[in-house]
Structure 1
Amino acid sequence: MAIHHAQAGEIVDVRPLADALAQTKTTTLVKTEHLEVLRLVMPAAKEIAEHKAKGDVTIQCLEGRVTFDVGGKSIDVTQGDLFYLPAKEPHSVRFVEDSSLLVTFSL
């Protein structure tokens, strides 16, 4: 079965998951030749080791709290915050609380 990705003009619900957060998995919402949008869902205490994205990245915290380590600084991101990383910027992520992030990659 193919994974559904939103089509042009299709509305995607990205409101906070609240009680459904613990049962929800990370999902790619949109994928095209030049763009990928995913809802990244992670429990508290998880970490993503340092890595780089090929293109620019925006991260919007839909719920929870995460800390990005980038450029020698720790940056706390909470619900409602939007965070930008340029292409190839090394960064790591710590999930301080159960969290849901809207992540957009340029490819």
Structure 2
Amino acid sequence: MILASFNDKLYYNDHKIVMDVMLETSFSKEIRIALKKGQIMKEHKAPFPIIVHILTGEITFGTGGKEYDLKQGDIFTLDGKVPHDLTACTDSVVRLTLSKPDTTERVKHVITFSQNQL
């Protein structure tokens, strides 16, 4: 058994998006992304399907030319290779589930790229 809490050691940073790998299993990686209001993850795509769960706050999620206003408790899947972006409408915590073959380094790169483009 592996135990982790998305509430432990949670913090926000006014200058950058905070990403923590909460745990890895034989089939997935669970990531916590803490965004302050207004922080953006620019358009990117994952090589494999992902699951996104809004733990707290509200985000605008863009994909396929549409924007979706998502709130605490919302959860959805997205196929691999689908371009998407997100913006925090309030301070928010997002749970991102990656397929095992995907890398956390890719997510770190997306966050760094997004911040360097501001």
TM-score normalized by the length of structure 2:
0.72
Following superposition, the deviation at residue 35 of structure 1 comes to 2.2
2:32 aligned to which of 21, 39, 50: 39
What is the distance in 2 between the residues matched to 1:16 and 1:26? 13
Following superposition, the deviation at residue 11 of structure 1 comes to 1.9
Following superposition, the deviation at residue 12 of structure 1 comes to 1.5
Deviations 1:7-61 (A, max 9, x none): xx122223598xx5436x4210123575221000010101111000011110111
Partner of 1:14: 6
Q: Aligned-pair RMSD on alpha carbons?
A: 2.3
User: Which protein is richer in helix relative to its size?
Assistant: 2
TM-score normalized by the length of structure 1:
0.79
2:77 aligned to which of 74, 84, 98: 84
What is the distance in 2 between the residues matched to 1:12 and 1:32? 12
Matched residues, number:
97
What is the distance in 2 between the residues matched to 1:69 and 1:15? 26
